[in-house]
């Protein structure tokens, strides 16, 4: 009988080819670009993470250059040859080629220039192929790096990873912006956040996190909103103060930057990214922030309960000027604007023990301490004219005991947008979903 | 101005307490069990991953034992004291206690026995609190370990992590078992798998993976089916043969077992788990398997195109007896039973270059090589009376070139069920969703 042994072919690591100068190699990839010179041609091969410069010359190649075209997938046999003009420090002299697959048509968008010369609309319409551009794909390689750093750091801090359901019986964040679906004759919803589940799981593992999809049926079509996004959620028990959550987030951000610098240098260089520095993060209350903006910019305060987007931008500008930080924590948001599970400040119940983190004008995190006492939570639900019976399984944790706890949610795509200095969150979303886009 | 520095308090690692014999410590947790003896009491404290035996005696404690009760969340101050009768090799002599939170009611289910004495129905109804049982939570700690092992191994093999959308414009697997939702006036679906997206992304990074939620609106209520589950999906380009995917999966499974043995020893011991050995995995074709079962058990073959669940069980029994393997690959499933993107065997188009992996009677993986040629894919869609225009964005990859590729999908909860030897997939699903369960 045939058997499978788990013998995995060692992978070619493009960067290591520089140690194989003079050696024969085999490499697979897609022909990214062919540049014909007078007596030879450059063939740029696109592999999983690199562009490799190869040289075709009839002096050593045993095939006709006419046989290969851009976007063919090929296996090349050749020799590694030192070349300091090439970005990787070497090139490959091609000897043989095997064609593995051919496209049926020419590309409708030019993908092999330094930067894609197309509108965001076109880039998104053709996402499966525009992502093949070296800069476009570098964005999502960095996004992978963010996730890997988050997991590595949180595991080191004894957070347990969970997978909570996305089809739910009740919305956690309230409001009308929730997707409904028919679940075998019952009405069900798509989770707006893993809020209830991560709180439940604090009662099990003390500290938990999840990186998963969340859904908001928001109808406004802005450069910062999506209807489906990836949320980095964490929740931690036995906190003494909600500032512990902000300390954890600050450390997490420091680790993300360090990890990207360490493991994704090529992508950062390619995109010419200067990551924001995270040292101390200044911390102001919501009321102080409103006042600061008002004073610095002689701006009338129109809404005492929430920020206008312009105010978030101005606050970041101000903080950067005064404290040289691209991040700022805003704490103590008004109770009226926070969900029913937010813990109120015992000194002034108009405000919650909550925070947002702003970066470069954009809100990238919402967090805070949660109510853990059963009667406090039931009272707050009743005060908001909400029916505690609808939250019976959630309220089990309060009823049977849960430690003081809090947590945060951070949008992965928004964080990427912010770190990369992009102006539209769709640029940093693999396949964005908005009110007018459901495809690809 | 206040500032947050990212100063994270070093964590108490329960196992390391044995190096702190004689030292004063502070530890937070939930009171799991109080056992009163004649002159003292055992207080078992449940922390994030351990149960710690603590001793209360009025000789050294500065409070009355009546002040604390089971399921209180507390901070204990005490001294680490050697004790070989305790599982961890030490105990904590309690000196002071601070009560952090109290439950409002007594537990409706006894959670602090070795094993929960309750029906699966009750365990699931009270999931937020029954998970606090040490054995229940160990299941999902192991599930975390599986995910960590998968990511670690796949990254080492140059797979890039992706996040594909779950709200989609078309189902990948066909059939009626798909959840529909209203997406701003358009009909949309919940993804049955990330199939189209992982294939698209092979064109970008050569090798990709995703661990994420998938949805099947299947109406049958069996011990093996869920309506929402977590799928481990991978897809790899530049394969020479679909057996490369099986080799990769075999190596992946070997790494999962090794990683669990290394990092989750306590949980494996607690649950008395003997992980299945993964060495060589026997490999039979679908037709051979049918014949083998028929011969060995004198069983009439009723369905030549698919397995009955009983046949899967018998095949695993047979393979174990003859080849001492708890895993078996079944290859070359009939074309009629595989989706439209499955590549057919050029030698016999009745069969596909596909496989399932069975373990302990259960199918845990489906995989295979995909069609990469544009006209081959369009022809197959037309032959199945499907409209290629509906798959326009998916077919971009074929039209503009994609390497030979294939991949697999493995249900995380089913894999956990199989490795832990459970009989119902709900036991290894954190918050299961089935036709009658939408809560908690």
Q: Do B5 and A404 touch (CB under 8 A)?
A: no
Q: Do B4 and A161 touch (CB under 8 A)?
A: no
pLDDT value of position B174: 66
8 Å CB contact between B133 and B118: no
CA distances from B168 to A181, A183, A222 (A): 14, 17, 21
* pLDDT 10s digits, A318-340: 999 999 999 999 999 999 999 99
∠ CA B205-B209-B214, rounded to 5° = 135
- The predicted complex's ipTM stands at 0.97
Low-confidence ranges of chain B (pLDDT < 50): none
* pLDDT 10s digits, A123-177: 999 999 999 999 999 999 999 999 999 999 999 999 999 999 999 998 766 677 9
Q: Is residue B105 annotated as involved in ligand binding? A: no
pLDDT value of position A210: 98
Which of B48, B225, B330 best probes binding to A when mutated, by most A CB atoms within 10 angstroms? B48
Distance CA A272, CA A269 (A): 5
Q: Do B169 and A207 touch (CB under 8 A)?
A: no
pLDDT value of position B12: 74
Which of B2, B4, B106 best probes binding to A when mutated, by most A CB atoms within 10 angstroms? B4
Greatest C-alpha distance within chain A: 84
Residue A345 pLDDT exceeds 70: yes
Distance CA B136, CA B427 (A): 9
- Residues of B whose CB is below 8 A from A166: 166, 213, 228
Q: Is residue A413 annotated as involved in ligand binding? A: yes
First to last CA, chain A: 43
CA B314 to chain centre: 24
- Residues of A whose CB is below 8 A from B282: 1-3
Residue A1 pLDDT exceeds 80: no
Q: Do B132 and A284 touch (CB under 8 A)?
A: no
- Token duo for residue A189: 């919803």
Which of A49, A400, A434 best probes binding to B when mutated, by most B CB atoms within 10 angstroms? A400
Beta-strand pair A24-36/B327-331: unpaired
DSSP B111-145: -SSSS--S-HHHHHHTHHHHTTSHHHHHHHHHHHH
pLDDT value of position A84: 84
Closest-CA residue in chain B for A187?
B438
Q: φ, ψ for residue B36 (rounded to 5)?
A: -85, 130
Residue A349 pLDDT exceeds 90: yes
Q: Is A406 left (phi over 0), alpha (psi -120 to 50) or beta?
A: beta
* pLDDT 10s digits, A93-131: 999 999 999 999 999 999 999 989 999 999 999 999 999
Mean of the pLDDT values across residues A388-416? 97
pLDDT value of position B393: 94
pLDDT value of position A332: 98
pLDDT value of position B172: 66
8 Å CB contact between B127 and B431: yes
Q: Do A438 and B103 touch (CB under 8 A)?
A: no
pLDDT value of position B210: 98
Residue A21 distance to chain B (closest CA, Å): 23
Closest-CA residue in chain B for A395?
B128
DSSP annotation of A172 reads S
Distance CA B375, CA B401 (A): 12
Residue B183 distance to chain A (closest CA, Å): 8
Q: Do A396 and B440 touch (CB under 8 A)?
A: yes
8 Å CB contact between A440 and B393: yes
* pLDDT 10s digits, A173-212: 667 799 999 999 999 999 999 999 999 999 999 999 999 9
More confident residue, A377 or A17: A377
Q: Do A374 and B103 touch (CB under 8 A)?
A: yes
What is the torsion angle, in degrees rounded to the nearest 10, for the CA atoms of residue A150, residue A155, residue A158 and residue A162?
A: 80
8 Å CB contact between B229 and B412: yes
Per the listing, tokens 């351990």 go with B50
Report all structural domains of chain A as residue ranges with CATH numbers, in order of start: 14-101 (2.40.50.140), 134-428 (3.30.930.10)
- Residues of A whose CB is below 8 A from B143: 163
Distance CA B208, CA B160 (A): 5
Q: Do A164 and B430 touch (CB under 8 A)?
A: yes
Q: Which of B29, B115, B7 is nearest to B74 (CA)?
A: B29
Mean of the pLDDT values across residues A257-273? 97
pLDDT value of position A269: 97
Residue A374 distance to chain B (closest CA, Å): 6
- Residues of B whose CB is below 8 A from A212: 212-213
CA distances from A331 to A281, A328, B426 (A): 12, 10, 41
Residue A87 pLDDT exceeds 90: no
Q: Do B402 and A71 touch (CB under 8 A)?
A: no
Distance CA B275, CA A108 (A): 51
Contacts of A382 by beta carbon, 8 Å cutoff, 6+ apart: A388
pLDDT value of position B173: 67
């Amino acid at each position: 009988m045939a058997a499978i042994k788990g013998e995995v072919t060692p992978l070619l690591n493009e960067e290591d080819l520089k140690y194989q100068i003079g050696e024969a190699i085999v490499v697979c990839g897609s022909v990214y670009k062919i540049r014909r010179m007078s007596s030879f041609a450059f063939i740029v091969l696109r592999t999983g993470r690199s562009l490799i410069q190869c040289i075709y010359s009839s002096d050593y190649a045993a095939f006709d250059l006419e046989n290969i075209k851009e976007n063919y997938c090929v296996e090349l046999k050749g020799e590694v040859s030192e070349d300091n003009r090439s970005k990787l420090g070497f090139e490959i002299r091609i000897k043989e080629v095997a064609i593995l697959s051919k496209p049926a048509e020419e590309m409708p968008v030019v993908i092999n220039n330094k930067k894609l010369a197309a509108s965001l609309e076109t880039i998104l319409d053709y996402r499966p192929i525009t992502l093949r551009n070296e800069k476009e794909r570098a964005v999502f390689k960095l996004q992978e790096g963010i996730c890997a750093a988050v997991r590595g750091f949180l595991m080191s801090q004894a957070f347990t990873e969970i997978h909570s359901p996305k089809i739910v019986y009740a919305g956690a964040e309230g409001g009308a912006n929730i997707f409904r679906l028919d679940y075998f004759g019952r009405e069900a919803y798509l989770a707006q956040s893993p809020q209830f589940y991560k709180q439940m799981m604090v009662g099990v593992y003390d500290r938990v996190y999840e990186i998963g999809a969340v859904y908001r049926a928001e109808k406004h079509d802005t450069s910062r909103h999506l209807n489906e996004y990836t949320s980095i959620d964490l929740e931690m028990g036995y906190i003494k103060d909600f500032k512990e959550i902000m300390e954890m987030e600050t450390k997490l951000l420091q680790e993300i930057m360090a990890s990207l610098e360490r493991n994704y240098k090529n992508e950062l260089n390619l995109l010419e990214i200067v990551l924001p520095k995270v040292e101390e993060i200044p911390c102001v209350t919501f009321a102080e922030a409103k006042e600061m903006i008002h004073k610095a910019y002689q701006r009338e305060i129109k809404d005492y309960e929430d920020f206008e987007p312009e105010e978030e931008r101005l606050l970041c500008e101000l903080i950067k000027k005064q404290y040289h930080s691209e991040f700022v924590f805003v704490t103590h948001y008004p109770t009226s604007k926070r969900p029913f599970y937010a813990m109120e400040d015992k000194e002034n119940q108009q405000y919650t023990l909550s925070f947002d983190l702003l970066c470069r004008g954009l809100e990238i995190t919402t967090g805070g301490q949660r109510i853990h006492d059963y009667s406090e939570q039931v009272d707050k639900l009743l005060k908001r004219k909400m029916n505690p019976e609808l939250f019976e399984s959630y309220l089990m944790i309060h009823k049977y005991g849960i430690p003081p706890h809090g947590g945060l949610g951070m949008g992965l795509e928004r964080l990427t947008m912010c770190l990369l200095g992009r102006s539209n969150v769709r640029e940093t979303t693999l396949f964005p979903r908005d009110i007018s886009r459901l495809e690809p």
